[in-house]
Amino acid sequence: MRVIGVIGQNGSGKDEVLKYLKEKHGVPFLSTGDMVREIAAREGRSSDRATLQEISDRYFRQYGQACFVKMAAEKIRANGWPVTGISGVRSPDDVTALRETLGKSFVLIEVFVSDPRVRFDRMRKRAAARDTDSFERFLQQDQDEERIFHVGEAARMADYSLCNDGRLDDLHRAIEDLIDQKGLLRSE
């Protein structure tokens, strides 16, 4: 089994890495957000942002900060996928829990963009409801995520780093290089 985790700041291209692996190589992936949405559905609740945040906070208090990555890891094991991805890895606790649960089959890729303005512009183009249209608020969200989750510390635990400063096809080539040179898609 091989589980590919992806970490990075908002708008860095984390989801793009997993979408590319799915479309080009048939690698399924789960997100920690999927786990929260499943809980909301089981509880018969809506999946609006406030509800999902309340569920997340409750589960973090009850089961610890890494509870959703643990749920995702168990679901991956249950599905028996030889290679899969996981998004929503944020904290050092998440990385540690995945390494403890999955051992050498877990690999973490950091995706980064050098200029926050580039991340902001890309985020605005995707036009997701959760994204802000204020650059100042975007920077504040970066600071809030860092303060709460210590994303930078977790990213330093990555096995590989992908710079996403260029075009989309540059990122895709970098992913292919990891596959070819590092055996990214080989099961452990």
For residue 157, report the phi and psi dihedrals to the nearest 5 degrees. -90, 0
- In a domain? residue 78: yes
Report whether pLDDT(28) > 80.
Answer: yes
Which three-class secondary structure state does DSSP give residue 159? coil
Question: Tokens 């690698």 appear where?
Answer: 27
- The band of 75, judged by pLDDT with boundaries at 50, 70 and 90, is very high
DSSP notation for 64-100: -TTHHHHHHHHHHHHHT-SEEEEE---SHHHHHHHHH
Crossing angle of helices 67-79 and 49-63, in 10° steps, is 90
Which three-class secondary structure state does DSSP give residue 41? helix
Report whether pLDDT(2) > 80.
Answer: yes
Look up residue 146 and give its two tokens: 């860092």
CB neighbour list of residue 32: distance below 8 Å, 6 or more residues apart: 68, 69, 71, 72, 86, 87, 88, 89, 90
Average pLDDT, stretch 19-37? 95
Report whether pLDDT(40) > 90.
Answer: yes
CATH number where 107 lies? 3.40.50.300
Average pLDDT, stretch 17-30? 97
Overall domain count for the chain: 1
- In a domain? residue 187: no
- In a domain? residue 155: yes
Side-chain half-sphere exposure of 49, counting CA atoms within 13 A: 4
- In a domain? residue 102: yes
Average pLDDT, stretch 67-88? 94
- In a domain? residue 9: yes
> What pLDDT, on a 0 to 100 scale, did the predictor assign at position 97?
96
Report whether pLDDT(48) > 90.
Answer: no
> What pLDDT, on a 0 to 100 scale, did the predictor assign at position 7?
97
Report whether pLDDT(174) > 90.
Answer: yes
- In a domain? residue 26: yes
> What pLDDT, on a 0 to 100 scale, did the predictor assign at position 8?
95
Report whether pLDDT(45) > 90.
Answer: yes
> What pLDDT, on a 0 to 100 scale, did the predictor assign at position 126?
82
pTM across the whole model: 0.91
- In a domain? residue 12: yes
Sheet-wide strand order for 2-7: 29-31, 83-87, 2-7, 106-112, 160-163
- In a domain? residue 174: yes
Residue 5: closest CA among 63, 69, 52: 69
Report whether pLDDT(49) > 80.
Answer: no
> What is the tens place of the pLDDT at every residue in 140-154?
999 999 998 999 999
- The band of 47, judged by pLDDT with boundaries at 50, 70 and 90, is confident
Q: Which domain holds residue 105?
A: 2-31+66-182
> What pLDDT, on a 0 to 100 scale, did the predictor assign at position 166?
95
